[in-house]
Amino acid sequence: MTTYTINGSTLLLQQGNIVNVQADAIVNAANAALAGGGGVDGAIHRAAGPTIMRECRQIGGCATGSAVATGAGNLSARYIFHAVGPIYQNSGNEPQLLASAYQTCLNLAEEHQLQSIAFPSLSTGAYGYPLHLAAPIALRTVITHLQQPTSLKQVYFILFDQRTLLAYQQALQKLLGGDQI
Ligand code: AR6
């Protein structure tokens, strides 16, 4: 586990399964149809139960680079934020779309005055975003956000495997070593 404090808020990088994390909001790596799927999406829907799929159907969909909120069903969180990261195709605007998926979740957290939020590594599974490119975008978006006034006291990155945790730890070190956060 790695922790880093910014203006009194804590950023934590931790290996684990996001459905087991205690946080006000848990972020899901969803698709634009909000139709459910494998990876984090499958794990969250299984653990939360059918109510969130009903809410997703009512919402109907979510643009890539954005996110929508539902309740959290059987999970202890208050909300699930269903974020849609880009499918990696090297077409040029993936970095903006990925940053914007994280940023929309952070904005939703402020809207609901949440103190804690847990992110998975959006887009780096089925959507094929290279980890060494996605990790600095994810971290930079969160760190920049925490440098401004915020209700958030804890932001967790819950990284499923060792490889993903290491990529985020390395990216964080690089960002902190450089001057371009
Ligand atoms: N907790 C935390 N991280 C997890 C978990 C978990 N329970 N399960 C997997 N990961 P992915 P994407 C990691 O594929 O790339 C779905 O079918 C995984 O190892 O879940 O944004 C959706 O319905 C990887 O590091 O999300 C979409 O169609 C990371 O989470 C599509 O996949 C993201 O992998 C979204 O693809």
Q: Tell me the per-residue pLDDT of 124-179, one tens digit each, with 9 for 90 and over.
A: 999 999 999 999 999 999 999 999 999 999 999 999 999 999 999 999 999 988 65
Q: How far apart are CA 32 and CA 64, in angstroms?
A: 6
Nearest CA to ligand 1 atom 12: 123
Q: What would the pLDDT profile of 88-128 be if each residue is shown by its tens digit? A: 998 889 999 999 999 999 999 999 999 999 999 999 999 99
Q: What is the mean pLDDT of residues 70-78?
A: 98
The pLDDT of residue 91: 84
Residue 133 near residue 40, CB atoms below 8 Å: no
User: Cα of 42 to ligand 1 centre, how many Å?
Assistant: 8
Asked if pLDDT for residue 24 goes beyond 60, the answer is yes
CB of 158 sitting under 6 A from ligand 1: yes
Inside any domain, residue 75: yes
Ligand 1 atom at minimum distance from 35 CA: 23
Residue 157 near residue 175, CB atoms below 8 Å: no
Q: What is the mean pLDDT of residues 46-66?
A: 98
Question: Looking at per-residue confidence, does 57 or 91 come out higher?
Answer: 57
Inside any domain, residue 181: no
Residue 26 near residue 105, CB atoms below 8 Å: no
Inside any domain, residue 67: yes
User: Cα of 30 to ligand 1 centre, how many Å?
Assistant: 8
CATH classification of the domain holding 130: 3.40.220.10
Inside any domain, residue 52: yes
Q: Residue 139 corresponds to which tokens in the numbers above?
A: 């971290």
Ligand 1 atom at minimum distance from 158 CA: 2
CB of 160 sitting under 6 A from ligand 1: yes
Catalytic annotation on 41? Answer: yes
Name the active-site residue from 24, 41, 161, 179: 41
**Which candidate, 85, 67, 72, 179, places its Cα nearest to that of 127?**
85
Asked if pLDDT for residue 5 goes beyond 60, the answer is yes
Inside any domain, residue 150: yes
- Ligand 1 pocket test, pick from 98, 160, 162 with the greatest ligand atom count within 8 Å of Cβ, gives 160
Inside any domain, residue 180: no
Query: What is the number of structural domains in the chain?
Result: 1
What is the residue range of 133's domain?
A: 2-175
Inside any domain, residue 165: yes
Nearest CA to ligand 1 atom 8: 40
The pLDDT of residue 90: 80
The pLDDT of residue 99: 98
Nearest CA to ligand 1 atom 24: 125
